[in-house]
Amino acid sequence: MADRTDLDVAERWNQNADQWTRDVRGGIDVYRDLFTFPAFQDFLPSLDQLDVIDFGCGEGSNTRRFAQIGARMTGIDLSERLIEHARDAEIVDPVGIDYRVTSYSEPSGFSDASFDAVVSTMALMDGPDINGAMREAYRLLRPGGFVVFSVLHPCFITPGSRWDKDAGGRKTGLYVSRYFDVSSFTERWIFSDQPDDMDVQLFAVPRFPRTISDYLNAVADAGLRVTQVEEPRPTPEACKTVPRFSRWRDHAAFLLLIKAEKHE
Protein backbone atom coordinates (compact mmCIF):
# COMPACT_ATOMS: atom_id res chain seq x y z
CA MET A 1 0.00 0.00 0.00
CA ALA A 2 1.19 3.52 -0.81
CA ASP A 3 1.54 6.53 1.50
CA ARG A 4 -1.25 8.50 -0.26
CA THR A 5 -4.76 7.32 0.59
CA ASP A 6 -8.16 7.09 -1.08
CA LEU A 7 -9.04 10.37 0.69
CA ASP A 8 -6.14 12.20 -1.01
CA VAL A 9 -7.18 10.71 -4.36
CA ALA A 10 -10.81 11.81 -3.88
CA GLU A 11 -9.75 15.34 -2.96
CA ARG A 12 -7.53 15.72 -6.05
CA TRP A 13 -10.13 14.32 -8.43
CA ASN A 14 -12.83 16.54 -6.95
CA GLN A 15 -10.58 19.49 -7.83
CA ASN A 16 -9.93 18.14 -11.34
CA ALA A 17 -13.55 17.17 -11.97
CA ASP A 18 -15.11 20.20 -13.69
CA GLN A 19 -12.30 20.81 -16.15
CA TRP A 20 -11.76 17.07 -16.74
CA THR A 21 -15.44 16.64 -17.60
CA ARG A 22 -15.45 19.64 -19.92
CA ASP A 23 -12.29 18.44 -21.71
CA VAL A 24 -13.32 14.80 -22.08
CA ARG A 25 -16.80 15.66 -23.31
CA GLY A 26 -15.42 18.45 -25.51
CA GLY A 27 -13.44 15.89 -27.55
CA ILE A 28 -9.91 17.07 -26.71
CA ASP A 29 -8.88 13.79 -25.06
CA VAL A 30 -7.70 12.40 -28.41
CA TYR A 31 -5.79 9.55 -26.76
CA ARG A 32 -9.10 8.22 -25.39
CA ASP A 33 -11.12 8.84 -28.55
CA LEU A 34 -8.64 7.58 -31.16
CA PHE A 35 -6.47 5.11 -29.30
CA THR A 36 -7.15 3.88 -25.78
CA PHE A 37 -10.92 3.36 -25.93
CA PRO A 38 -11.00 1.71 -29.40
CA ALA A 39 -8.15 -0.60 -28.29
CA PHE A 40 -10.02 -1.45 -25.09
CA GLN A 41 -13.19 -2.18 -27.00
CA ASP A 42 -11.35 -4.49 -29.43
CA PHE A 43 -9.92 -6.42 -26.46
CA LEU A 44 -13.24 -6.68 -24.62
CA PRO A 45 -15.52 -9.73 -24.83
CA SER A 46 -19.18 -8.95 -25.56
CA LEU A 47 -20.88 -7.16 -22.65
CA ASP A 48 -24.33 -7.55 -24.16
CA GLN A 49 -26.97 -8.22 -21.45
CA LEU A 50 -24.29 -8.59 -18.74
CA ASP A 51 -24.25 -6.93 -15.31
CA VAL A 52 -21.03 -4.91 -15.40
CA ILE A 53 -19.31 -2.63 -12.91
CA ASP A 54 -16.83 0.07 -14.00
CA PHE A 55 -14.05 0.61 -11.41
CA GLY A 56 -13.00 4.31 -11.34
CA CYS A 57 -15.65 5.41 -13.85
CA GLY A 58 -14.88 9.15 -13.55
CA GLU A 59 -17.46 11.35 -15.29
CA GLY A 60 -18.85 8.27 -17.04
CA SER A 61 -18.12 8.78 -20.76
CA ASN A 62 -16.71 5.25 -21.10
CA THR A 63 -19.38 3.79 -18.79
CA ARG A 64 -21.98 5.20 -21.15
CA ARG A 65 -20.23 3.62 -24.13
CA PHE A 66 -20.40 0.22 -22.38
CA ALA A 67 -24.12 0.77 -21.72
CA GLN A 68 -24.61 1.67 -25.38
CA ILE A 69 -23.16 -1.71 -26.43
CA GLY A 70 -25.70 -3.55 -24.30
CA ALA A 71 -24.29 -3.83 -20.75
CA ARG A 72 -26.35 -3.13 -17.62
CA MET A 73 -23.87 -0.73 -16.05
CA THR A 74 -22.90 0.36 -12.56
CA GLY A 75 -20.14 2.95 -12.20
CA ILE A 76 -18.12 3.61 -9.05
CA ASP A 77 -15.64 6.35 -8.32
CA LEU A 78 -14.09 8.02 -5.26
CA SER A 79 -14.82 11.54 -6.51
CA GLU A 80 -18.25 12.90 -5.53
CA ARG A 81 -17.92 15.69 -8.07
CA LEU A 82 -17.15 13.36 -10.99
CA ILE A 83 -20.10 11.18 -9.98
CA GLU A 84 -22.32 14.29 -9.95
CA HIS A 85 -21.27 14.97 -13.55
CA ALA A 86 -21.90 11.33 -14.47
CA ARG A 87 -25.38 11.44 -12.93
CA ASP A 88 -26.14 14.72 -14.74
CA ALA A 89 -25.39 13.04 -18.10
CA GLU A 90 -27.66 10.16 -17.08
CA ILE A 91 -30.48 12.63 -16.35
CA VAL A 92 -30.07 14.39 -19.71
CA ASP A 93 -29.83 11.15 -21.71
CA PRO A 94 -30.67 8.08 -19.60
CA VAL A 95 -28.95 4.79 -20.47
CA GLY A 96 -29.77 3.06 -17.17
CA ILE A 97 -26.47 3.48 -15.28
CA ASP A 98 -26.35 3.32 -11.48
CA TYR A 99 -23.48 5.50 -10.17
CA ARG A 100 -22.09 5.30 -6.63
CA VAL A 101 -19.35 7.11 -4.73
CA THR A 102 -17.18 4.35 -3.29
CA SER A 103 -13.69 2.90 -3.56
CA TYR A 104 -12.89 0.01 -5.87
CA SER A 105 -10.33 -1.34 -3.42
CA GLU A 106 -12.57 -1.62 -0.32
CA PRO A 107 -15.80 -3.58 0.15
CA SER A 108 -17.91 -1.42 -2.17
CA GLY A 109 -21.35 -2.10 -0.74
CA PHE A 110 -22.55 -4.53 -3.44
CA SER A 111 -23.35 -8.18 -2.67
CA ASP A 112 -20.90 -11.00 -3.38
CA ALA A 113 -21.19 -12.42 -6.92
CA SER A 114 -23.49 -9.66 -8.18
CA PHE A 115 -21.72 -8.89 -11.50
CA ASP A 116 -20.75 -10.80 -14.65
CA ALA A 117 -17.85 -8.47 -15.46
CA VAL A 118 -15.62 -5.80 -13.95
CA VAL A 119 -14.16 -3.26 -16.37
CA SER A 120 -11.77 -0.40 -15.66
CA THR A 121 -10.25 2.10 -18.08
CA MET A 122 -7.11 4.00 -17.07
CA ALA A 123 -8.04 4.11 -13.38
CA LEU A 124 -6.18 1.35 -11.53
CA MET A 125 -2.81 3.15 -11.72
CA ASP A 126 -4.51 6.12 -10.03
CA GLY A 127 -5.47 4.33 -6.80
CA PRO A 128 -3.16 3.20 -3.98
CA ASP A 129 -4.22 -0.42 -3.57
CA ILE A 130 -4.17 -2.70 -6.64
CA ASN A 131 -4.34 -5.86 -4.48
CA GLY A 132 -7.49 -4.57 -2.74
CA ALA A 133 -9.00 -3.73 -6.15
CA MET A 134 -8.43 -7.25 -7.48
CA ARG A 135 -9.79 -8.83 -4.26
CA GLU A 136 -12.92 -6.67 -4.60
CA ALA A 137 -13.24 -7.63 -8.29
CA TYR A 138 -13.03 -11.31 -7.33
CA ARG A 139 -15.66 -10.89 -4.60
CA LEU A 140 -18.10 -9.07 -6.90
CA LEU A 141 -17.79 -11.51 -9.81
CA ARG A 142 -20.07 -14.46 -10.41
CA PRO A 143 -18.28 -17.74 -11.16
CA GLY A 144 -17.17 -17.63 -14.81
CA GLY A 145 -17.15 -13.81 -14.74
CA PHE A 146 -14.23 -11.73 -15.98
CA VAL A 147 -12.28 -8.56 -15.31
CA VAL A 148 -10.76 -6.43 -18.09
CA PHE A 149 -8.65 -3.38 -17.32
CA SER A 150 -6.33 -0.88 -18.99
CA VAL A 151 -3.49 1.02 -17.32
CA LEU A 152 -0.59 3.17 -18.47
CA HIS A 153 2.11 0.65 -19.35
CA PRO A 154 4.13 0.30 -16.15
CA CYS A 155 7.38 -0.70 -17.91
CA PHE A 156 7.62 2.39 -20.12
CA ILE A 157 5.78 5.14 -18.26
CA THR A 158 7.97 5.14 -15.17
CA PRO A 159 8.80 7.97 -12.77
CA GLY A 160 12.07 8.60 -14.63
CA SER A 161 11.20 7.92 -18.27
CA ARG A 162 11.81 10.59 -20.92
CA TRP A 163 12.06 10.76 -24.71
CA ASP A 164 15.40 10.90 -26.51
CA LYS A 165 15.31 13.27 -29.49
CA ASP A 166 17.49 13.96 -32.51
CA ALA A 167 18.79 17.42 -33.46
CA GLY A 168 15.51 18.16 -35.26
CA GLY A 169 13.46 17.33 -32.13
CA ARG A 170 12.21 14.00 -33.54
CA LYS A 171 11.67 11.30 -30.91
CA THR A 172 14.24 8.56 -31.45
CA GLY A 173 13.59 6.37 -28.43
CA LEU A 174 12.49 6.21 -24.83
CA TYR A 175 14.90 6.36 -21.94
CA VAL A 176 13.48 4.44 -18.96
CA SER A 177 14.67 4.80 -15.40
CA ARG A 178 13.44 4.38 -11.81
CA TYR A 179 11.22 1.46 -12.86
CA PHE A 180 11.44 -0.01 -9.36
CA ASP A 181 10.65 3.26 -7.59
CA VAL A 182 7.06 2.73 -6.47
CA SER A 183 6.75 5.90 -4.36
CA SER A 184 3.51 7.71 -5.12
CA PHE A 185 3.67 11.24 -6.52
CA THR A 186 1.33 13.88 -7.95
CA GLU A 187 1.61 14.47 -11.66
CA ARG A 188 0.53 17.86 -13.07
CA TRP A 189 -0.57 18.08 -16.69
CA ILE A 190 -3.29 19.18 -19.10
CA PHE A 191 -4.60 17.75 -22.38
CA SER A 192 -2.40 19.21 -25.14
CA ASP A 193 -5.20 20.28 -27.46
CA GLN A 194 -6.74 22.96 -25.22
CA PRO A 195 -8.59 25.71 -27.08
CA ASP A 196 -6.54 28.95 -26.89
CA ASP A 197 -9.25 30.97 -25.18
CA MET A 198 -9.78 28.57 -22.27
CA ASP A 199 -8.76 29.30 -18.72
CA VAL A 200 -7.08 26.01 -17.77
CA GLN A 201 -5.56 24.75 -14.54
CA LEU A 202 -3.14 21.85 -14.53
CA PHE A 203 -4.78 18.63 -13.32
CA ALA A 204 -3.18 17.22 -10.17
CA VAL A 205 -3.32 13.45 -10.53
CA PRO A 206 -1.98 11.21 -7.75
CA ARG A 207 0.01 8.40 -9.36
CA PHE A 208 0.94 5.03 -7.92
CA PRO A 209 3.75 3.54 -10.00
CA ARG A 210 4.16 -0.21 -9.80
CA THR A 211 5.95 -2.93 -11.71
CA ILE A 212 4.32 -5.28 -14.18
CA SER A 213 4.68 -8.11 -11.66
CA ASP A 214 2.76 -6.04 -9.09
CA TYR A 215 -0.20 -5.97 -11.50
CA LEU A 216 0.00 -9.61 -12.52
CA ASN A 217 0.54 -10.87 -8.98
CA ALA A 218 -2.39 -8.78 -7.68
CA VAL A 219 -4.62 -10.53 -10.24
CA ALA A 220 -3.24 -13.99 -9.39
CA ASP A 221 -3.22 -13.47 -5.61
CA ALA A 222 -6.91 -12.53 -5.72
CA GLY A 223 -7.66 -15.96 -7.24
CA LEU A 224 -8.27 -14.75 -10.81
CA ARG A 225 -6.70 -16.48 -13.83
CA VAL A 226 -5.04 -14.23 -16.43
CA THR A 227 -6.39 -15.21 -19.87
CA GLN A 228 -5.03 -12.49 -22.14
CA VAL A 229 -2.53 -9.62 -22.07
CA GLU A 230 -2.06 -7.04 -24.81
CA GLU A 231 0.10 -3.97 -25.46
CA PRO A 232 -1.84 -2.38 -28.33
CA ARG A 233 -0.32 0.27 -30.56
CA PRO A 234 -2.18 3.20 -32.10
CA THR A 235 -3.31 2.35 -35.64
CA PRO A 236 -1.53 3.88 -38.66
CA GLU A 237 -4.74 5.87 -39.33
CA ALA A 238 -4.74 7.28 -35.78
CA CYS A 239 -1.04 8.20 -36.18
CA LYS A 240 -1.88 10.02 -39.38
CA THR A 241 -4.57 12.05 -37.61
CA VAL A 242 -2.45 12.67 -34.49
CA PRO A 243 1.22 12.42 -35.55
CA ARG A 244 2.50 12.49 -31.95
CA PHE A 245 0.93 9.03 -31.42
CA SER A 246 3.67 7.54 -33.66
CA ARG A 247 6.11 7.37 -30.77
CA TRP A 248 3.79 4.76 -29.18
CA ARG A 249 3.81 2.76 -32.42
CA ASP A 250 7.53 2.95 -33.16
CA HIS A 251 9.32 2.91 -29.80
CA ALA A 252 7.41 1.87 -26.68
CA ALA A 253 4.05 0.68 -25.36
CA PHE A 254 1.69 3.25 -23.86
CA LEU A 255 -1.06 0.88 -22.83
CA LEU A 256 -1.28 -2.42 -20.96
CA LEU A 257 -4.52 -4.44 -21.20
CA ILE A 258 -5.22 -7.41 -18.93
CA LYS A 259 -8.10 -9.87 -18.97
CA ALA A 260 -8.67 -12.41 -16.20
CA GLU A 261 -11.43 -14.83 -15.19
CA LYS A 262 -12.97 -16.15 -12.01
CA HIS A 263 -13.23 -19.95 -12.21
CA GLU A 264 -16.68 -21.54 -12.63
Ligand X SMILES: C[S@@+](CC[C@H](N)C(=O)[O-])C[C@H]1O[C@@H](n2cnc3c(N)ncnc32)[C@H](O)[C@@H]1O
Contact residues toward ligand X (CB under 6 A) are 6, 9, 13, 56-58, 61-62, 76-79, 82, 103-105, 121-123, 126-127
Residue closer to ligand X, measured from CB, 230 or 251? 230
Minimum CB distance to ligand X, residue 61 (Å): 6
Minimum CB distance to ligand X, residue 261 (Å): 21
Minimum CB distance to ligand X, residue 91 (Å): 19
Residue closer to ligand X, measured from CB, 124 or 174? 124
Cα–Cα distance, 94 to 119 (Å, whole number): 20
Contacts of 175 (CB under 8 A, 6+ apart): 161, 162, 163, 164
C-alpha 120 chain-centroid distance? 6
Residue closer to ligand X, measured from CB, 10 or 50? 10
Number of Cβ within 10 Å of residue 170's Cβ equals 11
Minimum CB distance to ligand X, residue 28 (Å): 13
Minimum CB distance to ligand X, residue 56 (Å): 3
Minimum CB distance to ligand X, residue 33 (Å): 11
Residue closer to ligand X, measured from CB, 88 or 164? 88
CB 132 within 8 A of CB 105: yes
What does residue 186 show for φ and ψ, rounded to 5 degrees?
-110, 120
Residue closer to ligand X, measured from CB, 77 or 261? 77
Strands (E), 80-230: 98-101, 115-121, 141-152, 162-165, 171-175, 185-189, 203-207, 225-230
CB 259 within 8 A of CB 228: yes
Residue closer to ligand X, measured from CB, 23 or 261? 23
Would you say how long the chain is, in residues? Answer: 264
